[in-house]
Amino acid sequence: MLKQISKEHDSIVDDERTSNTVAALKQGILDNLFYVLGKRVEVSTDMDHFMALAYTVRDRILARWLTTREDYAKNNVRTVYYLSAEFLMGPYLASNILNLGIDDVIRQAAGELDLDLNHLIGQESEPGLGNGGLGRLAACYLDSLATLGVPAMGYGIRYEFGMFHQAIRDGWQVELTDYWLRYGNPWEIRRPQACVEVGFGGHTQSWADSFGEYKVLWTPDEVVKGVPFDTPIVGYRSGVANTLRLWRSEANESFYFDRFNSGDYEGAVGAKIFAENISKVLYPNDEEIRGKELRLQQQYFFTSCSLQDMIRRHETTGHSLENFHEQCAVQLNDTHPSIGVAELMRLLVDIHGFGWDKAWDITSHTFNYTNHTLLPEALERWSLPMFQSLLPRHLEIIYEINSRFLSLVRTKFPNDEARVARMSIIDEHGERYVRMAYLACVGSGHINGVAKLHTELLKSDVLRDFYELWPEKFINVTNGVTPRRWLAVANPEQSELMTSKIGHDWIGDLDQLSKLERYAEDSAFRSEWQGVQRAVKVRLAQYIAAKTGISVDPSSMFDAQVKRIHEYKRQHLNVLYILTQYYRQKKDPTLEISPRTFLFGGKAAPGYFMAKLIIKLITSVAEVINSDPEVNQHLKVVFLPDYNVTFGQLVYPAADLSEQISTAGKEASGTGNMKFAMNGALTIGTLDGANIEIRDAVGHENFFLFGLTAAEVVARKAAGYHPHQIYESNGALREVIDGIASGRFSRGDGSLFRPLVDGLLNSDPYLLFADYQTYVDCQDRVCKTYRDQEAWSKMSIYNAARMGQFSSDRSIRDYCKDIWNITRFEIGAGLPASK
Ligand code: T68
């Protein structure tokens, strides 16, 4: 009987229930509404319709999802496991419809049921399971892995509460809880049969067994259950659906009932709370993360669940653990899962009986580590006492790894104890810490940065000692973004225009965009390009009016800076320019300046006071400028609350100018910079992160460059940097700073922005003052260029046409070739691509 069902499964794709005819899709929507949601048409809501449609789409994914899994197992292929504490997936519906290739039929089916597809797409609340760039990169990479047919799985945490929602009250950020699962999640499937157990705390005992081998038994105090929830990740017309497996922590019943039955009610309840807390909430990337025990619990929880799951999968496909590393390539998305190095050693040595050397050989050939930050304060380290009490066995293992590692350092660099102390995984200066980046470096085959400059700075600065020891481990993989979500879904107008000229192959092969280059010189095409840009801006303007009540003029230049709020990203430098323009205009109301709308969006970490003050500065400046009839014909400032992936899909396509103005040497890569440029925005930016590569790709003449280089920043600081002197000698800057300090933009309250102003005058660690004048000059060039719309459109087209290399498909090919050693892709995985 079972056999029969499995024999039939191939035909499920084409059966009446899940075929892609308009009739079957309509029936699917109605059936799901009735049978899954339990609603009659007459009383169903927009949310019900979205859900019914989502289930209907999921029904069309299932066959390829299961087939993909079976094909990978059959073909005995190396699998990539992408471990990430964050996956910022964004809404699935539109992207799944595009990737399945069923846009037209779905639109028609919805229409025939009197449903508006775009409206339904707008109902989906996005799973905000990430902070920003790092989590969104993971999501783009999953899209590309499935599109290229690379056997891969994402592993992370199914946070019950994702990234907080941001409201603006009285100009300040207020954080609201994100309960994204309120209406249920139609995309995921709970897989209770694949549960695993994870221990915490307790103690270890060691002894020599009858063969004289050293053995360790870890007896944890708490054991929690990890329950996997799987979401299919559909490749763009590749016939492949990979899996994102997110772990939810739950109480372990036997642990709970043992305590309960022995009368320890408090202990039982405590264990349940302990367990359920672990996957409760995503940490915003605060300074505060440090020292938070729950954060380390989260990291260990999902990493252990994932490694146990990989081992089980490896063994059930008939492989020996000895060649685990030949079948499994684990990518550590930053140091958050780097405890995995110690955990895999524990699993191999303590549980599966391997000797240390063999276990280390497997482990160090399994992991690779991607670094995403150059900020020293952002490098993770855990206080030793806390680590010891939570993961006593792992600390022993780390000591052993460290001692062997330091012997190697001593051999390679004799009589250099200073170096040994610098490189130790245990930081012994003052309070003792475990340095997670060092554990990741020691346990990984490759270490990569996310843009050329970033990788160079890792080698010469942050991880210099490791580079000197193992130069061959270091490699650059510049980030990329998926053109499916960030062009095809987000910007249907531009996509359609491009497709009408060069066909639609660019969606799966972004290098094809270069065919657009020749149209840059074609004035008829340019006017179509301008028409598209205008339509997209109107769409955003309507949205802004609805959300904020502010009316913005779509014929003004849309100048956007959307990203997390951080001093190094210098949103306040942008404000200094806005105020410079404001004063110019106030002094000479007849001044001809091209009208501009400054758009800001982004969240501040709740504990990051200066970032929150920057938001208050932006909203305060907005209040004054937008209500001043002398300037508001030319200048508008809008802070878009609750910036997220969904909102990004509206903003990137509508921007004329993209602000990428971080202090050089601070932004590892940036990915928003790529999304903007692909959508035809011109960039004003520093030589930082991937800006450098973008500028080289689009042509220096099509990029507005300003500011100190990373090397100049270092030299300037070394020579003694005195921002106060710049303030004294630059009249325009002085006027702006004095204006902020005087309370002119804070209803007369001169103390409000004092911490910001004093910080700039006295130390200015991100060199805003040093870059101020070149930034203003560069902005003036931007204004001048914008006045010539033909020239601007030409530059815009060149930008879009030359962004092929910033597709995440290219990044994933780089990882396959240089890091994972995967050469054979499984494109098609047994299903026709058009399905
Ligand atoms: C970003 N990092 C980089 N971190 O800042 C950005 N951190 O330059 C780069 O383009 C992007 O990664 C992708 O490589 C982050 O987004 C975090 O979100 C984060 C989260 C938790 C803890 C530390």
Q: What percent of the chain is modeled with pLDDT above 70?
A: 96
Domains of the chain: 21-75+91-124 (no CATH), 76-90+126-479 (3.40.50.2000), 514-806 (3.40.50.2000)
In the block, tokens 């990737």 appear at 99
Flag whether pLDDT at 245 surpasses 70. Answer: yes
At 14, is the pLDDT very low, low, confident or very high (cuts 50, 70, 90)?
low
Q: Which helix (H) or strand (E) holds 410?
A: helix 392-412
82, 86, 129, 134, best to mutate for ligand 1 pocket (most atoms within 8 Å of CB): 134
Does the structure's ipTM exceed the value 0.90? yes
Residue 243 a catalytic site member:
no
Q: What percent of the chain is modeled with pLDDT above 90?
A: 90
Atom of ligand 1 nearest to the CA of 136: 13
Residue located nearest, by CA, to atom 12 of ligand 1: 134
SS3 189: strand
CA 62 to chain centre: 26
Which residues make beta-bridge pairs with 228? 247
Distance CA 350, CA 200 (A): 16
Tokens at 142, concatenated: 């999953």
At 15, is the pLDDT very low, low, confident or very high (cuts 50, 70, 90)?
low
Atom of ligand 1 nearest to the CA of 130: 18
Flag whether pLDDT at 47 surpasses 90. Answer: yes
Strands 367-370 and 444-449: parallel
| Mean pLDDT in residue range 352-379 | 96
Residue 63 Cα to ligand 1 midpoint, Å, equals 35
Active-site option among 563, 566, 596, 794: 563
Tokens at 63, concatenated: 């066959």
Residue 137 Cα to ligand 1 midpoint, Å, equals 9
Write the DSSP string, 64-103: HHHHHHHHHHHHT--EEEEE-S-B-----HHHHHHHHT-H
Return all residues near 57 (Cβ < 8 A) that are at least 6 apart.
93, 96, 97, 100, 102, 106
638-661 pLDDT, tens per residue? 999 999 999 999 999 999 999 999
Tokens at 84, concatenated: 């990430």
525-573 pLDDT, tens per residue? 999 999 999 999 999 999 999 999 999 999 999 999 999 999 999 999 9
Active-site option among 78, 394, 485, 564: 564
Residue 611 Cα to ligand 1 midpoint, Å, equals 16
Tokens at 745, concatenated: 């933009």
Residue 669 Cα to ligand 1 midpoint, Å, equals 9
| Mean pLDDT in residue range 262-289 | 89
Distance CA 388, CA 382 (A): 10
Residue located nearest, by CA, to atom 22 of ligand 1: 285
Residue 817 a catalytic site member:
no
pLDDT value of position 260: 80
pLDDT value of position 214: 87
Atom of ligand 1 nearest to the CA of 370: 14
Tokens at 24, concatenated: 């079957």
Give the pocket of ligand 1 (CB within 6 Å). 131-134, 137, 285, 372-373, 378, 450, 479, 667-671, 689
Distance CA 683, CA 111 (A): 39
Pair 697, 683: CB distance under 8 Å: no
Atom of ligand 1 nearest to the CA of 289: 22
pLDDT value of position 354: 97
Distance CA 388, CA 629 (A): 63
Write the DSSP string, 458-511: IIIIITHHHHHH-GGGEEE----B-HIIIIIIT-HHHHHHHHHHH-SGGGT-GG
Atom of ligand 1 nearest to the CA of 667: 8
Return all residues near 324 (Cβ < 8 A) that are at least 6 apart.
310, 311, 314, 362, 366
Average pLDDT, the chain: 95
Residue 285 Cα to ligand 1 midpoint, Å, equals 9
At 74, is the pLDDT very low, low, confident or very high (cuts 50, 70, 90)?
confident
Residue located nearest, by CA, to atom 6 of ligand 1: 670
Pair 736, 772: CB distance under 8 Å: no
420-437 pLDDT, tens per residue? 999 999 999 999 999 999
373, 644, 667, best to mutate for ligand 1 pocket (most atoms within 8 Å of CB): 373
Residue 450 Cα to ligand 1 midpoint, Å, equals 10
For the question of whether the overall pTM of this predicted structure is more than 0.90, the answer is: yes
Length of the chain equals: 835
| Mean pLDDT in residue range 389-393 | 98
Residue located nearest, by CA, to atom 2 of ligand 1: 134
At 12, is the pLDDT very low, low, confident or very high (cuts 50, 70, 90)?
very low
Active-site option among 325, 372, 381, 695: 372
Residue located nearest, by CA, to atom 21 of ligand 1: 285
pLDDT value of position 825: 61
Residue 563 a catalytic site member:
yes
Residue located nearest, by CA, to atom 20 of ligand 1: 285
If we measure between CA atoms, which residue out of 339, 402, 356 comes closest to residue 200? Answer: 339
Atom of ligand 1 nearest to the CA of 479: 14
Residue 133 Cα to ligand 1 midpoint, Å, equals 5
Tokens at 579, concatenated: 């105020």
Q: What angle do CA 632, 659, 93 make, to 5 degrees?
A: 100
Flag whether pLDDT at 9 surpasses 50. Answer: no
Flag whether pLDDT at 832 surpasses 60. Answer: no
Active-site option among 39, 60, 569, 570: 569
Pair 232, 242: CB distance under 8 Å: yes
At 824, is the pLDDT very low, low, confident or very high (cuts 50, 70, 90)?
low
Atom of ligand 1 nearest to the CA of 668: 8
Residue 429 a catalytic site member:
no
Residue 437 Cα to ligand 1 midpoint, Å, equals 15
Residue 746 Cα to ligand 1 midpoint, Å, equals 32
At 17, is the pLDDT very low, low, confident or very high (cuts 50, 70, 90)?
confident
If we measure between CA atoms, which residue out of 387, 425, 392, 393 comes closest to residue 406? Answer: 425
Distance CA 600, CA 560 (A): 6
pLDDT value of position 796: 98
Pair 424, 438: CB distance under 8 Å: yes
